[in-house]
C-alpha cells in the first residue's frame, strides 16, 4: 500500500555535484511527472513520461535528466547542481484511462538545498 514514494526526503548538496532524486510508484501507472515547487510559481513541470523508455520535456527541463527503464521508477538527475535548483521536487503519477481528466497522485516531495 506504498503508493508513490520519493527518496531522499531531504538533501543538501554543493554546487557542481550530481544529485539523483528517486521516485517509485506501486500502481503501475503509465504516466509519471516531475515538478518543482518554488514560492510564487506554484508547481512547474520539469519532465514527464508516458511509459517506460518514453520521456519528454516540460516547462523547465534545463539542467535535469530523466530516465524510465521500468514503469515503476522515474529518477530525476541534476547533472551539475546549481543554487537556482534549490527547490522542493514532487513526483506524480497517473493512469491513462481518461486522458486529460486523469487524476495525478503526488509523492511527499524532496526538499533539495544546493549550497
Partner 1 sequence: AQSVTQLGSHVSVSEGALVLLRCNYSSSVPPYLFWYVQYPNQGLQLLLKYTSAATLVKGINGFEAEFKKSETSFHLTKPSAHMSDAAEYFCAVSPTGRRALTFGSGTRLQVQP
Secondary structure (3-state) at 108: coil
Comparing CB distances to partner 1, the nearer of 15 and 48 is 48
Give me the 49-88 binding string for partner 1, x by CB under 8 A, dash otherwise.
-x-------x------------------------------
- Give the nearer residue to partner 1 in terms of CB position, either 66 or 92: 92
CB of 90 to partner 1, least distance (A): 6
Least Cβ distance, residue 101 to partner 1 (angstroms): 4
Look at phi and psi of residue 42 and say left if phi exceeds 0, alpha if psi is from -120 to 50, else beta.
left
Task: Quote the CA–CA distance of 75 and 85 in Å, as a whole number.
Answer: 16
The most distant pair of C-alpha atoms in the chain lies apart, rounded to whole Å, by: 42
Amino acid at each position: 500500500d506504498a503508493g508513490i514514494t520519493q527518496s531522499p526526503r531531504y538533501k543538501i548538496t554543493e554546487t557542481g555535484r550530481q544529485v539523483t532524486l528517486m521516485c517509485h510508484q506501486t500502481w503501475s501507472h503509465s504516466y509519471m511527472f516531475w515538478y518543482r515547487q518554488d514560492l510564487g510559481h506554484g508547481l512547474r513541470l520539469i519532465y514527464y513520461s508516458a511509459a517506460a523508455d518514453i520521456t519528454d520535456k516540460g516547462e523547465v527541463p534545463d539542467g535535469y535528466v530523466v530516465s524510465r527503464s521500468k514503469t515503476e521508477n522515474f529518477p530525476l538527475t541534476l547533472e551539475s547542481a546549481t543554487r537556482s535548483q534549490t527547490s522542493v521536487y514532487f513526483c506524480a503519477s497517473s493512469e491513462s484511462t481518461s486522458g486529460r481528466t486523469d487524476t495525478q497522485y503526488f509523492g511527499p516531495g524532496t526538499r533539495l538545498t544546493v549550497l
